[in-house]
Amino acid sequence: DAGVIQSPRHEVTEMGQEVTLRCKPISGHDYLFWYRQTMMRGLELLIYFNNNVPIDDSGMPEDRFSAKMPNASFSTLKIQPSEPRDSAVYFCASRPTSGANVLTFGAGSRLTVL
Amino acid sequence: AQSVTQLDSQVPVFEEAPVELRCNYSSSVSVYLFWYVQYPNQGLQLLLKYLSGSTLVKGINGFEAEFNKSQTSFHLRKPSVHISDTAEYFCAVSEWNAGNMLTFGGGTRLMVKP
């Protein structure tokens, strides 16, 4: 299995631009999570999906952030418009239905907003 | 609500010395406990987990952790570290009845020196 695949690995953009981060979970995993990691706030859960349906988006910072999961093998996290404070590493993780919350993480997407 | 405290943000240690990374959690119900490791520019990998049963849990790379319910702790230990163990270590907790909420500690950077 190729694991959780994220793209791009690195993104540098200017303030105000739209950013789209992508994630392919492990086949057969019913849960997908988006986390953000910063020095100041550590790892924060942004949103998670179960069977492609968003279950809890209470961690999404504001309306500029949106996430979708159109099918079981693909999810996007979009920031529009981006701001310098959005600079962080964004992780996608997935797990199967039975798994006591044992997550498999992708390698992350490092976003820098200038 | 659940929370996790990692008492040390950095732990320097010489190669082949023993190490303990401390983790305390707060929860009013039974929990699952995890340790993840993050190598530079990579995602998080599961080191070990406590779900139930024996309070001493063994993981990969020679690490082990002990669940102490009375002290609400889950400290990570290794009797002899290697340079390759240099990484960031995250403790995480999930309450049995909290669905998919996995709460991470702030992380401890283990720096192994030759």
CA dist., res. B37 & res. B109, Å (int): 10
Window A:2-41, CB contacts with B under 8 Å: 4, 31, 33
Are the CB atoms for A54 and A47 separated by under 8 Å? yes
- Write down the pLDDT at residue B48: 95
CA dist., res. B63 & res. B52, Å (int): 18
Task: Answer whether B51 sits within 8 Å of A42, measured CB to CB.
Answer: no
Task: Answer whether A91 sits within 8 Å of B43, measured CB to CB.
Answer: yes
Q: Per-residue confidence at A75, pLDDT binned at 50, 70, 90?
A: very high
Average pLDDT over residues A2-13: 94
Average pLDDT over residues A1-11: 91
Please check the confidence at residue A98 and state whether its pLDDT lies above 90: no
Please check the confidence at residue B97 and state whether its pLDDT lies above 70: no
CA distance B22 to chain A (A): 17
CB proximity list for A23: less than 8 A, separation 6 or greater:
A4, A5, A6, A32, A34, A74, A75, A76, A77, A92, A106
Q: Per-residue confidence at B62, pLDDT binned at 50, 70, 90?
A: very high
Please check the confidence at residue A101 and state whether its pLDDT lies above 80: no
Half-sphere exposure of A70 (CA within 13 A, CB side): 5
Helix (H), strand (E) at residue A23: strand A19-24
Helix (H, G, I), strand (E, B) or coil at B84: helix
CA distance B104 to chain A (A): 7
Backbone angles phi, psi at A11, to 5 degrees: -140, 125
CA distance B79 to chain A (A): 25
